[in-house]
Structure formats: C-alpha cells, structure tokens
Amino acid sequence: MMRISIFPLLFHILCLLALNTAPLHANKEEAEALLQWKINGLSSSLLDSSWSVNNLTNVCNWEGIICNRGGSVSELNLPNGNIRGTLEPLRFSLLPNLTRINLKNNSLSGVIPVSVFSKLDSLEHLDLGNNFFQGPFPISLTNLSTLKFLRLSNNNLSGAIPEEIGSITSLQVLKLSKNSFQGKIPPSIGTLKHLKYLSLRRNQLNSMIPFELGLCTNLEYLKLGHNFLTGELPRSMSNLSKLVELRLSSNRLSGELVPHLIANWTQLTSLFMHNNNLSGIIPSEISLLTQLQYIQLRDNQLSGRIPYNIGDLQKLSQLDLVKNHLSGPIPPTIGNLTQLFLLELSDNYLSGSIPPEVGHLTSLYVVFISSNLLHGPEILSIFCNVTSLSGLLIADNKLNGHIPKCLGNNTNLKFLELNANELNGGIPESLCNACHLRFLTLASNYMSGVIPKCVGNFSNQLSGLHLDQNYFDGPMHREFCTSSTPVKFLGLSDNSLSGVIPPCLGNLSTTLSLLDLSMNHFDGTIPADVSRGKVLRVLILDHNQFEGPLPPTLINCTALQILDVGNNKLNDSFPHWLDALPQLMVLVLRSNHFHGVIGNPTIKLPFPRLRVFDLSNNYFTGPLPTYYLLHFTGIINNISSDVLVTYKIGDFSFEEDSSAVLVVKGLERSVRRILNLYTSIDLSSNMFHGEIPFSIGNQLYTLRLLNLSHNMLTGHIPLSLGDLTLLEALDISNNQLTGKIPWQLSNLGFLGVLNLSYNHLSGAIPRSRQLDTFGNDSYLGNTALCGFPLTLECDAKNPPLHSKEEEEEEDSSFFNGFSWQSVTIGYCCAFPFGVCVGYFALRYGKFNWLLRKLTWKRGMGSNKAC
C-alpha cells in the first residue's frame, strides 16, 4: 500500500493563506500618499470612514483601493463618488504599481499636472472623464507605453491634441470628446495600430480628416461628430473594414459618398453623417452594408433618388434622410425593411404616392414624410393597420381626399400631423378612438363642416389641437374644455366658427399656453375665465366681433407674451393695468373702439419687455403717450427674445410659432414670429394732438417701424428722428406738421417706407442716395414742398438740401435700388448685408399652422391659397 505524504499539501495551503493575508500588510508609503491627497483638499463623504490615519495598515480595504498579490496598490477605482479637489497633492510616484485609475464622474478640477503620470510604467487604464479638468492635454501621458485605455472626455481641456499621442502604441481606446481641443487631428494617429475606439466628438477640431486615419485598420468605433472638420472623406478610410459605428455628424464635410469608400464597411451597424455638406447621390452600394441598423444622412445636399435596393438592408431600424434634395418616388422595396422603426424622409422633393408596401411594416413607430410633393387620395389608408404607429407626420404635401375612418383604429397614435395638404371633407368621428392622441393638427387644408363634439375630449392626454385655416363652421362646443384634457396649444384660427367662447375654457387655465381663435365670427364678450391662467403665453383673438371691455382678469396672466385683440368691436379705455405684465412683448389693440386719453402708467417701469405696441385705428385723444413711449425698455435696451413656445413629449419636440397681424402701407402683414429684430410702434388713425416728442429719437434706438399717421399732430418733424438709425418704416402722413423736412432723415440707411404726405411741410426735399429712392407719393399734399422727386423745382431761396454725408462724399450707392413696390411686397429692406428679416411670412398655408393670409374679408371667410 502506497503512503501519501501530507507535507506538500500543507505547504500549498500555507502559501495560499499567505497570499490572501498579504494585502493587510501593504506598503505604508502608498497609504500615506493617498491619505495626504485626501488631507490636502480632497472632499468626499465616500472616503471619510475608511481613508483614515488609524487605518494605514489596512489600505487594501479602503474604499476604491485594490491591491496586487504583493500587497501594493494596483487600482484606484472611485467613479461616481462626488469627489471634489485636484490631482496635484497626489504623489503618483509613490504608487508605482498602479495599473488602473478610474476617477470618472466626479467633480475634480484644476490642471492635470504635467509629470503626474510619468512614473506609472505599468498603467493600462486611465479614466478621468466627466470632471472639470482644464488646461492642455497632459503630455506625460504620451510616455506610457503600456496604456490601453485613455478617457478624458467631458472636461474643459483645450489646446491642440499633441502629435506625440502616436507614441502610445498600445492604445486601444481613446476618448477625448466634449472638450475644447482646437486645431487638427494629428496624422500620428495612424501609428496606433491597435486602436479600436476613437472618440473626438464635440470639440473644436477644424482640419481635414487625415489620410493616416485609414491606417488604423482595427478601428471599430470612430466618433468625430460635432466639430468643424472640412473636406472630403479620405479614400484611405475604405481600409476600415472592421468599422461597426461611424459618427461624423455636425461638421463641414463635403464631397460625395464614393461607392468604393463605403463598400468595405460591411460590419457597419450605425452610419451617422447628418448635418454636413455632402452632395451627390446615395450610392446603390449602400445595400452591401447588410448589418446596418441606423442611417442618418439628414441635413446634407444629397440629390437623386433613394436607391431601389435599399430594401436589402434587412436589419435597418432607422432611415433618416430629412432635409436633402432627394427626388423621385419612395421605392416600394422599403416595405422589405421589416424591422424599420423610424422612417424620416421630410423636407425633400419626393413625389408620387407613398407605396402601399409601407403599410406592411408592423414595427413602424414614426413616419415623418412632411414637406415633399406626395399626392394621392388614398395614401392615409395604408397606415390603418400599422397598430404600432405612434407618430404619423405627413404635413405640407399634396394629399387630397378624405381622412379615412379606419385611421381611428390606431389606438397607439400619439401624434398626427396632416396640415398644409389638400384634404377635404369633415373630421371623422372615428378618429376619436385614438384615445392616446397628444397632438393633432389638420391646419391649412380644405376641410369643412362642424367640428365633432368628441374632438374636444377624445383624449385625456391631448396637448396640442390645431385646426386653423380650414372651412369649419358652427359653434365652439363646451367639450373643447373638459377639465380632464391637459391642452397646451389650441388653434382654431381662420375658419368660419361663430357664437360665443364657452366660459369653460377657464378649466384649462393650469395648462393652456397658446389660444388662437382669430379670423372667425365669434361674438359676445371675452369671458373672464378664459384669461385667468398664469401659464398663458399667447392670446390671439383678432378679426372677430367681440364686444365690451377687455377682461381685467388678464392681469393674472403673468406669463403672457402676446396679446392681439385687433379688429373687433371692443369698447374700453386704455387698459393701464396691462403695463404691469412682466413678459408682454406684443400688444395689439388695433381697429376697435378704445377711447379717451391714455394718461400715465400704473407702475414706474411700464411694459418692461414690450416690442410691438399697436393702438391704431381707435378713438384715443389727447397728447401722444410720451411716458410710455420713452420707457419701453424692450426697445430701448434691445431686450430680445423670440416668442416661441416649445414643448417635448416623449421622443417628440414641438415648436409653436406665435402670429400677429400688423399693418404696413395700409396692407395687413402676418408676422409669423416676433423676432429679435422686430420692434414697432403704431399709433395711427386716432385723434392724438400736440407735437411729436423730440426725445423719441434719443431713446428708442432699436425701433424699426414708427407710424403716427392720420392724427392731428402739429409742430416740426423732430431732428432726432434721424438718430433712429435702424428705422425701416416711417409714416407720419395726414397730420398738421409744419416746417422743413430735416436733412437728418437721410441718416436712416435702412429706411424702406417713408410717408410724409398730406401735412403742411415746406421747403426743399433733402437729397441723398437713400431719400432719392422714394417717389412722389411719399410727399403728396404738401403744396409748399419742392425739389426731387416732385415736378416743382426749388428757386434760389430754397436750394435742394443735401445731407451732411453727401456734402462730405457721395458714397451711399450701397443702398441704391430700393423701391416702394419691393418694400410693400416683402417689407424685407432691412440689413442688406445678408441678415434675413424673416418676420413677414410669405408662405401662407404651406408651412405653419398659425400663419395668416395676406388679407381677410370680414363676413366672407378666408381666401384659401392653393
């Protein structure tokens, strides 16, 4: 019988016990180095219990510390610890065996010390991401030949990425995103043969993508988005055959998607190149990328057709080609993409019908094909059985026919946008079965009939309802304002609705942000409950037949930005109490029966943000409201803010433009948005008397439209009006002004509308390149005026007045070419430097739910544009 010795077995057990107990006797110098770091400014409750002078011999059990078998600190893992402080007090030279440092997601700050990592010859993993480090890239890192993982993302690092980074030849992961690195991507990046993951996105890199990047043949993830990279993709990128994810979006890349460049990316699952300047066609070779799940090429200059073989991408989940120049039909092979989740083709020139095969895609969540040239009467019916559909957005096309009844079968539908088409007929009551609908817009169509009662309360999640610019008639039902419906945006403008506004709209006071009932036939008084909500930002009731006073409950609407009640039969004195509303930017009381002397404000700084003030065509008397005019700080101090109401529901974000109607040269113009550039004062067609205050020109520096016409104003034209250098329209006609036209008006270089007619002005008309662009109708009815453009020449006693600028040098030809006609059509004379003054919408009915028509005839409805 063989004897078995137990001594070797005992020896092995003792060795294992020794290894397990070794970390308890770790290097005291390492513990002191870590403790010194904490004492010298490191702040974290996470470390308070274990990092202690009383625990120096137990460092391997400290929070975030891992030791190797020899008892030396090998890993420093303190992510998400809410640690504050800097790295400078930590003596890394006393921690020579560190292989891993993870300090991500903390609040560390300061400069990363230059030599802090130079002694860490064994370091393989360094993660300092999501902190507040600043300064340059720590050059000492380039000496770490063992480093495989480097993450400095989401800090405040700046300067150039050093060329020496190519010396970290073992690097596999390099993440420098969300910093402020400037300059170029160093060509030495091509020496990193083991690199699999490179992220430089969200920096300020402004070079071309270096050819050498194509030498990193092991790259699987390449993320360079949100920089200022230029030029074409280097042909060498065709070597990156292992690419899984490519993100180059939001740069300035140009050129074409060269077929042989992308043909080798057969492992690619994500292609993100949106928001660049790519041109040419989408090559048919894209069908070779059979692993693709996401394609985002939106916001480029791509043209031609969507490749017919797009249906070969069987794994495709998202196809986003929005905002290009694609044309032709939607290929029916899209119906083969059975895993397609998002189909986004908006803002192109696609034509024909939506192929019925799209209706077979049972995984579709969103269909976004707005702003194309699609047509056909039965298109919508193909979506009736796509029960997974949450968003159907096919606005701004040429769809005609009726809304199919079966569309109400989509009980998961949350967003339905069919505005700006050619749909007719009524709203099918079956649509009310879509009980989860949050946003419904059918604006700018040819729909008619009475709005079904169920539309008001068919969904207890409804946030936006827009039926503007149709032919709906009948009353506004009480069902529109059930207390269980959280409506934020309600637009019924430009229809033929009549009757009174149901007082129950007050039930929406806690949610309603925009209410637009303009251009209808509503009558009666404005219910007080409608205007009691503290969240109401836009209230537009113009062009109706409302009577009585403004409801004083408006004073409760402290968030109100736009109030437009023009063109009604309101009868009231000036509502002084409105001047206390802190956010009001637009006040339009035009064409009502407001009367009396305006007088003094109720507070010291009235209307602190007002930018549009329109009291025209009323019965106000007395002097001009000088105190108000001289305290419009929104004009004086150029307080600018777009009146844009936004909200987000789930994955969808919406913007609601506010609309107001102003008058230029007697014609109504719709202001789609009250933009930063727009400031207006219109007090015309009242009975104001007295002089124009001289101080207007010294205060309202950013004023762009001033209309004081058709009053009884006397005195001279103030010389200070020449200081309103941004003024684009000036109308002081049909008053009793006397004296000469001041030559200072020639300083108004942006002036596109000038009307001084029917006053008692005399003398010579000043000559300047700008004033010479105006014709006779700017000066009619002033019999004592002479000089160009009138036929009456001035005699020796009244020589033509030249502007001071002309006397020095006639160099104002820059402004030549303006005409009264061009201003009347577009009112876009401002900023010849190229700044687009976009506040007059000329694309009515085909772009936005709230746009107005150029004219509107009372009692006859709206003139619908085809």
Name the nearest CA neighbour of 645 among 554, 583, 589, 704.
583
Question: pLDDT value at position 42?
Answer: 83
359 has a pLDDT exceeding 70: yes
Residues 451-457 have a mean pLDDT of 77
Q: Does residue 377 surpass a pLDDT of 90?
A: no
Q: Enter the tokens of residue 354.
A: 């939506």
Q: For residues 17 and 23, what is the distance between their CA atoms, to the nearest angstrom?
A: 11
Q: What is the reported pTM?
A: 0.80
**Tens-digit pLDDT profile for residues 646-688:** 444 444 444 555 444 444 444 444 444 444 457 899 999 999 9
Average pLDDT over every residue of 615-644: 82
Taking the C-alpha atoms of residue 862 and residue 464, their distance in angstroms, rounded to an integer, is 23
Say yes or no to pLDDT of 464 above 70.
Answer: yes
What is the Cα–Cα distance from 28 to 136, expressed in whole angstroms?
33
Nearest to 387 by CA among 443, 441, 433: 433
Q: How confident is the model at residue 92 (pLDDT cuts 50, 70, 90)?
A: confident
Preceding amide of 601 cis, omega within 30: no
CA-closest candidate to residue 189, choices 202, 203, 204, 176: 176
Statement: residue 173 has pLDDT above 90: yes
For 206-246, write each residue's pLDDT tens digit: 999 999 999 999 999 999 999 999 999 999 999 999 999 99
Q: What SS3 string covers 44-101?
A: CHHHCCCCCHHHHHHHHHCCCEEECCCCCEEEEECCCCCCEECCCCCCHHHCCCCCEE
Q: How far apart are CA 696 and CA 678, in angstroms?
A: 17
Specify the higher pLDDT residue, 582 or 509. 582
Q: Is the pLDDT of residue 280 over 70?
A: yes
Contact between residue 705 and residue 682 where contact means Cβ atoms under 8 Å apart? yes
| 324-339 average pLDDT score | 96
**Cα gap 501→632, rounded to integer Å:** 33
Mean pLDDT of 572-592: 94
Residue with the larger pLDDT of the pair 260 and 349: 349
In angstroms, the CA 408 to CA 341 distance is 21
DSSP code of residue 853: P
Rounded distance between C-alpha atoms, residue 711 and residue 733, angstroms: 9
How far apart (Å, rounded) are the C-alpha atoms in residues 551 and 565? 12
What digits encode the pLDDT tens for the residues 417-451? 999 999 999 999 888 888 888 889 999 999 999 99
Percent of the chain with pLDDT over 70: 83
pLDDT at residue 578 in the model:
93
Q: Over 50: is that where the pLDDT of 301 sits?
A: yes
Per-residue pLDDT averaged across 835-845, rounded?
29
Instruction: Measure Cα distances from 225 to 252, 297, 503, 787 in Å.
Output: 10, 13, 52, 62
Dihedrals φ, ψ of 519, to 5°? 60, 50
Is the confidence at residue 693, as pLDDT, over 70?
yes
Single-letter code of the amino acid located at 271: L
pLDDT in tens, 484-529: 667 888 999 999 999 999 888 877 878 888 999 999 999 999 988 8
Name every residue whose Cβ is closer than 8 Å to that of residue 851 and which is 6 or more positions away in sequence.
Answer: 444, 469, 659, 670, 672, 841, 843, 844, 845
- The token pair that represents 103 in the structure block: 């300090």
**pLDDT at 805 (0 to 100):** 45
Question: How far apart are alpha carbons 191 and 179 in whole angstroms?
Answer: 23
Amino acid 689: pLDDT? 96
> What is the rounded CA–CA span in Å between residue 763 and residue 761?
7
Helices vs strands, H then E, count in the chain? 8, 60
Q: Are 350 and 378 in contact (CB under 8 A)?
A: no
Phi/psi for 213 (5° steps) reads -60, -30
Residue 636 backbone class (left: φ over 0; alpha: ψ -120 to 50; beta: rest): alpha
327-336, 567-576, 686-695, 799-808, range with the lowest pLDDT: 799-808
Nearest-angstrom CA–CA distance, 850 and 187: 52
Average pLDDT over the chain, rounded to an integer: 84
Confidence at residue 809, expressed as pLDDT on a 0 to 100 scale: 40
Task: Please list the residues that pair with 280 across neighbouring strands.
Answer: 302
Residue 728 has pLDDT above 60, yes or no: yes
Supply the pLDDT for residue 457: 63
Residue range 524-566, pLDDT digits in tens: 999 888 777 788 999 999 999 999 999 999 999 999 999 999 9
Are the beta carbons of 706 and 731 closer than 8 angstroms?
yes
Separation of alpha carbons 814 and 835, rounded Å: 15
Q: Quick one: which H or E segment has residue 304?
A: strand 301-304
271 touches 244 (CB < 8 A): no
Q: What is the pLDDT of residue 391?
A: 93
What span, in angstroms and rounded, lies between the C-alpha atoms of 280 and 283? 9
% residues pLDDT > 90 (the chain) = 62
Q: Which residue in 596, 613, 606 sits closest to 688, CA to CA?
A: 596
Which ranges of 506-604 does DSSP label H, i.e. alpha helix? none
Decide: 704 and 830 in contact? Cβ < 8 Å: yes
Quick one: pLDDT at residue 16? Answer: 41
Q: Is pLDDT above 60 for 415?
A: yes
Q: Phi and psi of 399, rounded to 5°?
A: -65, 135
Q: What angle do CA 281, 284, 290 make, to 5 degrees?
A: 130
SS3 529: helix
* Residues with Cβ within 8 Å of residue 638, at least 6 apart in sequence: 701, 702
Q: How confident is the model at residue 40 (pLDDT cuts 50, 70, 90)?
A: confident
State the pLDDT at residue 57: 83
Q: How many CB atoms lie within 10 A of CB 851?
A: 24
Phi, psi (rounded to 5 degrees) for 755: -135, 110
Least confident of 111-120, 126-135, 338-347: 111-120
For residue 839, pLDDT over 90 is answered with: no
Report the DSSP pairing between strands 514-516 and 538-540: parallel
